[in-house]
């Protein structure tokens, strides 16, 4: 039996909320010949978020990164969303490292184009949180601790599994030039479908 009576109220609230905004629109630096542009916003959520297309549209979400061990998505390109799928299980023995660079670069491209992105898994707790943390380490130059703290502040229920945490520390080391000295492994080459 699952018990929720010992969970802090903020964790309960987060688990019952389909998605949370992690990064809001920001003004991107521009060259002297180009006017400044706004980045998109980054959201983190659960499967419930993608079950509510009107909510996604109300937040102007156009790009979805699905991190599930299911080959389907309730939304598709014909619904007006660009999809990027990572089919992995939430298990500490799963190696998430091959997917971090591809997912992070997809998020960065969409945000730089002014698009809003949702990263989701089943509950928005482990897999999708790990991808968002990896993005913050890679493209926002954050440490694992700072990225994890930011994401937890925005979505209190996040808790990447221990295998993902180890992979994220290695990822941080690779981008900070410390740790194992092994750079990020290239992952499967996928792009958003549109």
- Any residues with CB less than 8 A from the CB of 180 and at least 6 apart, and which? 170, 173, 174
The whole-number pLDDT of residue 177 equals 59
List the pLDDT tens digit at each of the 194 positions of the chain: 455 667 677 666 666 789 999 999 888 777 667 777 889 999 999 998 999 999 999 999 999 999 998 877 777 778 889 999 999 999 999 999 999 999 999 999 999 999 999 999 988 999 999 999 999 999 999 999 999 999 999 998 899 999 999 999 999 999 985 443 344 444 444 444 54
16 is catalytic: no
For residue 187, what are the CA distances in angstroms to 15, 33, 97, 98? 30, 35, 8, 4
Residue 45's beta-bridge partner residues? 19, 120
First to last CA, the chain: 42
- Any residues with CB less than 8 A from the CB of 183 and at least 6 apart, and which? 174
Q: What domains does the chain contain, in order, with CATH numbers?
A: 39-71+78-176 (3.90.190.10)
Look-up of token digits 């297309």: 53
Phi-psi region of 112 (alpha: psi -120 to 50; beta: other; left: phi over 0): alpha
14, 50, 111, 121: the catalytic one is: 121
The whole-number pLDDT of residue 190 equals 47
Let me know: does 41 contact 25? Beta carbons within 8 Å.
yes
């Amino acid at each position: 039996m699952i018990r929720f009576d010992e969970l802090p109220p903020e964790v309960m609230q987060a688990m019952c909320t389909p998605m949370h905004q992690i990064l809001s629109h920001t003004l991107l630096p521009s060259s002297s010949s180009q006017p400044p542009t706004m980045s998109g916003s980054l959201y983190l959520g659960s499967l419930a978020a993608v079950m509510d297309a009107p909510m996604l549209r109300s937040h102007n979400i156009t790009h979805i990164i699905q991190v599930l061990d299911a080959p389907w998505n309730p939304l598709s390109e014909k619904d007006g969303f660009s999809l990027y799928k990572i089919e992995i299980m939430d298990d500490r023995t799963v190696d998430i490292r091959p997917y971090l660079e591809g997912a992070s670069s997809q998020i960065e491209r969409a945000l730089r184009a002014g698009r809003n992105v949702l990263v989701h898994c089943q509950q928005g707790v482990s897999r999708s949180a790990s991808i968002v943390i990896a993005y913050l380490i890679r493209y926002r130059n954050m440490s694992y601790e700072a990225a994890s703290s930011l994401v937890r502040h925005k979505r209190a229920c996040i808790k990447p599994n221990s295998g993902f945490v180890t992979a994220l520390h290695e990822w941080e080391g690779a981008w900070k030039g410390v740790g194992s000295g092994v750079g990020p492994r290239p992952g499967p080459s996928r792009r958003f479908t549109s």
